[in-house]
Amino acid sequence: MGDAPLGIAVIGAGVHGSRYAGHLLRGDVPGARLAGVCRRTASEAGAWTSRGVRFETAAEALLDDPAVEAAVVASPPGMHATHAEAVLARRKPLLLEKPAAPDAASCARIRAAASRAGVPVLVGHSHRYNPVALAFREAVRGLGPLRGLAVALRHERMAQAWQHRPPEGGALLGVGVHAADLARWITGEELAADACRRTGDPGEAEGSALVLARTARGTPVSLDVSIVVGARRGGLEAWGERGAVEGDLILHELSRREGRNRTPVPLPPPAPGLPPLLGDFVRAARGGGAGIAATLEDGIAAVEFVLECRSKAGHA
């Protein structure tokens, strides 16, 4: 392959998959190029072919092309295991959009396929790349022994029906996995759920959920997630013996609190998370390190945690 750009296909070029494809097409990811997209809706072919992008309605047809050296799977979660197996059967590196899968059986299928393939598999927990999250994680180290962590991720109702349909939709799988991954990444510890309260409309997966959890060392963690509210929130707060740190991923704010004093923490400009995530994926696919990207095991751990939360809450 030499120094030629890595050819990456996007399987599932819907709302979010089109973001991945757009960054690759615009050249936002050094060392990578868009090798094609797959979308079940054939009527959308012209939107891609008019820009010189190969379009297929079947993932296999695209993945069999030698010009496709790696793939992003951004199809609905219910298709993740099938599409991941198709990519990994061809031993091509895989970036799997979160949630890694909607259930334990699908996680097991993907893990087995990854083990057989022996190629890098990463999961798209792009919140790790938010400049606020990066600075927050660093600031937490100055708090001394951590006494608590709170993550609040909320946004408006999504247009896609599957986002609200069980078992693949709902706030816990939609944004709860992001919140769980951030908590694991920030603390460096595994999470265990103690209690979960969730609400939702009849016939739908939960629209909102509140989770009480703890890290392996016993630090209390709260997760507040929703996909049905009219105000976005990306709140992070941690407190310890030396004060507290609080930030907002949406408002691009971070501050340190000591006593009654609040001091803003300087931040770099806002930046989208997908280009650096794709950059780490390219390096991993080329045989290098994956940077701060979530591994497959990280992604599965987040899914297992939110499934545990649903079990604690009972059937909604």
What's residue 316's pLDDT? 42
- Strands 6-11 vs 70-73: parallel, antiparallel or unpaired: parallel
DSSP letter at 100 equals S
Sequence-ordered list of residues with C-beta below 8 angstroms from that of 310, at least 6 positions apart, any chain:
172, 196, 198, 206
What's residue 63's pLDDT? 98
What's residue 158's pLDDT? 87
Taking alpha carbons only, the member of 166, 10, 26, 199 closest to residue 95 is: 10
Lowest mean pLDDT among 136-140, 166-170, 261-265: 166-170
Residue 138 has pLDDT above 80, yes or no: yes
Give the model confidence (pLDDT) of 197-233 as tens digits: 999 999 999 999 999 999 999 999 999 999 999 999 9
Give the model confidence (pLDDT) of 276-312 as tens digits: 999 999 999 999 999 999 999 999 999 999 999 999 9
- Location of structure tokens 């609190």: 257
Tell me the C-alpha distance between 176 and 312, whole Å: 14
Residue 248 has pLDDT above 80, yes or no: yes
Tell me the C-alpha distance between 177 and 281, whole Å: 20
Here the tokens at position 169 are: 């939709």
For residues 121-139, average pLDDT: 98
Kindly report each contact of residues 76-79 with a partner whose C-beta sits within 8 Å and lies 24 or more positions away, as own/partner: 76/12, 76/14, 76/160, 76/162, 76/168, 77/101, 77/102, 77/106, 77/162, 77/168, 77/173, 78/102, 78/162, 78/167, 78/168, 79/12
Q: How confident is the model at residue 194 (pLDDT cuts 50, 70, 90)?
A: very high
What's residue 1's pLDDT? 42
Helix H or strand E segment including 311 = helix 296-313
Residue 315 has pLDDT above 70, yes or no: no
Residue 268 has pLDDT above 50, yes or no: yes
What is the chain's mean pLDDT, rounded? Answer: 96
Q: Is the peptide bond before 99 cis (omega within 30 degrees of 0)?
A: yes
Phi, psi dihedrals of residue 204, rounded to the nearest 5°: -115, 160
Taking alpha carbons only, the member of 299, 305, 303, 300 closest to residue 194 is: 305
Write down all domains in the chain, each with its CATH number in brackets: 6-125+274-292 (3.40.50.720), 127-271+303-313 (3.30.360.10)
Tell me the C-alpha distance between 67 and 131, whole Å: 34
Tell me the C-alpha distance between 84 and 82, whole Å: 6
What's residue 3's pLDDT? 77
Give the model confidence (pLDDT) of 41-96 as tens digits: 999 999 999 999 999 999 999 999 999 999 999 999 999 999 999 999 999 999 99
Calculate what percentage of the chain has a pLDDT beyond 70.
Answer: 99
Tell me the C-alpha distance between 152 and 285, whole Å: 33
Tell me the C-alpha distance between 125 and 176, whole Å: 11
- Location of structure tokens 């695209």: 62
What's residue 159's pLDDT? 85
Helix H or strand E segment including 177 = helix 177-187
What's residue 6's pLDDT? 98
